[in-house]
Amino acid sequence: MRQITGFGKVNIDGFGELESAYVLKFENDGKTTLFFDFESFTIETMKLIDKMQGDELVIGQFSGTTEKSDTAIEASHVVLTKFDMDSQKGIRLEFQVNYPLIIYYESLNPQDEVEIRYGLTNFFFFGHETTRRGNRFSRDTISINIEKREIRFTHLENYQEIEHQLRERKDVQITSEMIINGNYSELADIEEIANNIKWTCSLASANYVTDLYQDIYKNGRLAKTILKPSKTYPYISRSSAIDASIRGGDELRSFLTITYPRFTELKEELGLEIVIEYYISSRLGIILEIGFLLGMITLECIESYLSSYFKSRGIAKDLSNFKSKTRALLDEFGVSYKEDELEIKDTRDKIVHTGRFPSERNPYEEYTKIINLLDRVLLIILGYKGNMYYNLNSRAKEILI
């Protein structure tokens, strides 16, 4: 968690301006809360509370300076969600920050060489490279080359403690950083690369990997921070298709390098960002029936893009029903399959209409069948065929064919 204090103001839409000392709390799951403290009750604060209690949405813009370094801080969108009143302590207003919050430590020019650090959620990996941390050395980093840039992933300082807590609690925590260097003028291009990599990391780990902060360094000093109250998903501890542990050797690094070009090529045509998000949702597996249905939505989501995909290539395909669309998808990308895998539509219909798996079928086997099919489809679409992956059905690593 990061905590920042200082003095600032909130400009409330249609109301006016409030000035006060503030406390900003940025949690490990991205929740960002802004507290404004007033020593005594004022007409303005009471009117604002009346406005909130009247079920009106109280929205404002925040700006201020930090206590320690007197640097600028701002957020374009804050919402008043709570208040506390105490005859001794005064009044505290609590705002939820729903949009990125920016802290400026020093000026940045387009030609400046910068190092950008993205704080990644729920992303675990075994480091192949050793870095120095104070007086000790830690094997905590992997590097890949993407679009002529070196991308480094490195553990946070207390990585092992975070890993233990996250596997136990199944919540959300920042585990590691992705580091990219470049000119500040290239920030938009770097952001695009970072976004694409986050999606391939999500697929590799079967967890929703996003960045909750972005620290920009110039000459080794922090120049700008963006705190991002982004959407997150709880940690999934089930085995992923790509082995990022010490047993996996170089598999994660190979996966990210191999799949990146295909992801960027096909992400719009096949809606890969939303497809991968649905895939992650299906892996949450709180209830097998729901996990299975989300897996089916993932598959049908890909198939919804097939008509325009084939049309753009001048290819005529039968896409009249689920089985024909699934066959077209599997055949187009060279995914091997068995006929009984196409019977998952019957299982889907039974769950939709009765809330239960067919009595003659094993629920867990049906669930793993759809997840394994999705693993193969997504990995092969991204060009990973012929490499090692974890087969959820056989519970063993094997060559993807």
In a domain, 232, yes or no: no
pLDDT at residue 56 tops 80: no
Asked if 248 and 126 count as a contact pair (C-beta separation under 8 A), the reply is yes
Last residue of a domain, one of 179, 195, 227: 227
Task: Write down the pLDDT at residue 23.
Answer: 94
* Residue-by-residue DSSP string for 74-128: EEEEEEEEEEEEETTTEEEEEEEE-S-EEEESS---TT-EEEEEEEEES------
Which helix (H) or strand (E) is 218 found in, with range?
Answer: strand 211-218
Give the domain range for residue 80.
2-99
- What's the whole-model pTM score? 0.92
Q: Is the pLDDT of residue 321 over 90?
A: yes
pLDDT digits (tens, 9 = 90+) for 188-234: 999 999 999 999 999 999 999 999 999 999 999 999 999 998 889 99
pLDDT confidence of residue 15: 79
- Decide which of 50, 77, 99 is a domain's last residue: 99
Whether the CB-CB separation of 330 and 377 falls below 8 Å is answered with yes
* Residue reference for tokens 């990973």: 384
Residues 66 and 133 in one domain: no
pLDDT at residue 227, as a whole number: 96
Decide if 291 contacts 238 (C-beta within 8 A). no
- Please say which residue of 168, 202, 227 terminates a domain: 227
Give the per-residue pLDDT at 142.
96
Task: Give the DSSP letter of residue 256.
Answer: H
User: Is residue 54's pLDDT more than 70?
Assistant: no
Per-chain mean pLDDT for the chain: 92
Helix (H) or strand (E) holding 251: helix 251-266
The residue assigned the tokens 């009750």 is 41
Closest CA to 8 of 47, 37, 44: 37
Q: What is the pLDDT of residue 118?
A: 98
What's the pLDDT tens digit per position in 333-383? 999 999 888 889 999 999 999 999 999 999 999 999 999 999 999 999 999
Is it the case that residue 285 has pLDDT exceeding 90?
Answer: no
Same domain, yes or no, for 132 and 180?
A: yes
Q: Please, which residues have CB within 8 angstroms of residue 300's CB and are 6 or more apart in sequence?
A: 322
Question: DSSP string covering 311-364, please?
Answer: HHTT-----SSHHHHHHHHHHHHT----GGGGGHHHHHHHHHHHSS--TTS-HH
Q: Are residues 393 and 302 in the same domain?
A: yes
pLDDT tens across 151-195, in order? 999 999 899 999 999 999 999 999 999 999 999 999 999 999 999
Q: Which of 243, 280, 40 is nearest to 124 (CA)?
A: 243
Same domain, 290 and 337: yes
Q: What percent of the chain has pLDDT over 70?
A: 97
| Whole-angstrom distance, CA of residue 370 vs CA of residue 337 | 12
388 shares a domain with 273: yes
User: What is the spatial distance between Cα 390 and Cα 298, in angstroms, rounded to a whole number?
Assistant: 19
Structural domains counted in the chain: 3
Find which of 12-21, 77-86, 111-120 is predicted with most confidence, using mean pLDDT.
Answer: 111-120
388 and 287 both lie in a single domain: yes
Residue 253 lies in a domain: no
